[in-house]
Amino acid sequence: MTRLTVVRSGMPAPNPAPGETVLTYDQFRAELRTGGLMKRLFRAGESRLLVHRVSSAGRPLATALALHAVSRGSVAIEDAEGRRREISLGVLGRWIAEVALEPLRVPNVVAGVAREVARLEAIVREPRTMTDIDLSASPLYLRTDLSFGIRAGGSVGHTAGVLNNLGHFTGAPILITTDDIPTLDPRIEVVIVAPSDAY
């Protein structure tokens, strides 16, 4: 069985298995632009898109359509943890319908976000008794970057540096984040929250 594997940016390319062709996302896009993908039409027994995390892959409609064009069999999104999401023709149809209807949904989505913000603001306005800072308590660090698979540098390096040292001055910190940080001290409690497909 032949397989085409497309590797999303930021992911290490795997060694090709026998009968497998591995392309980086940039190589795949270049083949789409230049027409080189035409040589691959229906040649692969299956195809897959490798991503950092399936739950944060979003809805890669154009890529999935192209992968279906080159594959006679299954198309899937897979991640480094072995999770797999099959992209059937039914899923493609649903994605196409969602894209077509999105402009009509924008007012409801914005209104829903406004309601949620108002609810959270009301909580903050509730009277509270202020106490002295308890430096032995665990601080909560909220990281909301929507960039996935970044291993070092920039905000990832800063966040790891702050959290790895914060426990010297406070209780053990707790991190709530949308993605893991590999340079973080493994003793730090991490809660990963995947963004909703609605956004």
Residues 83 and 8 in one domain: yes
- Report, as an integer, the average pLDDT of 168-180: 87
Residues 86 and 144 in one domain: no
Q: Which of 10-19, 173-182, 189-198 is predicted with the least confidence, judged by mean pLDDT?
A: 189-198
Instruction: Tell me which residue range forms the domain holding 164.
Output: 140-192
Predicted local distance difference test score (pLDDT) of residue 87: 95
Predicted local distance difference test score (pLDDT) of residue 9: 83
Residues 160 and 82 in one domain: no
Query: Where a domain ends, among 90, 107, 130?
Result: 90
Asked if the structure places residue 18 within a domain, the reply is yes
Q: 100-154: per-residue pLDDT in tens? A: 998 998 999 899 999 999 998 888 787 777 778 888 888 988 887 766 666 667 7
Asked if the structure places residue 37 within a domain, the reply is yes
> Would you say residue 78 has pLDDT above 90?
yes
> Would you say residue 68 has pLDDT above 60?
yes
> Would you say residue 198 has pLDDT above 60?
no
> Longest Cα pair distance anywhere in the chain, in angstroms?
69
Asked if the structure places residue 60 within a domain, the reply is yes
Asked if the structure places residue 97 within a domain, the reply is no
Number of domains in the chain: 2
Please name which of 50, 11, 10, 6 lies closest in space to residue 27, comparing C-alpha atoms: 6
Mean pLDDT of the chain: 86
Asked if the structure places residue 173 within a domain, the reply is yes
Asked if the structure places residue 23 within a domain, the reply is yes
Residues 20 and 83 in one domain: yes
Asked if the structure places residue 83 within a domain, the reply is yes
Q: Torsions phi, psi of 93, nearest 5?
A: -60, -40
Q: 15-39: per-residue pLDDT in tens? A: 999 999 899 999 999 888 888 777 8
Asked if the structure places residue 184 within a domain, the reply is yes
Those residues with Cβ within 8 angstroms of residue 1's Cβ, 6 or more apart along the chain or in another chain:
19, 45, 46, 73
> Would you say residue 194 has pLDDT above 90?
no
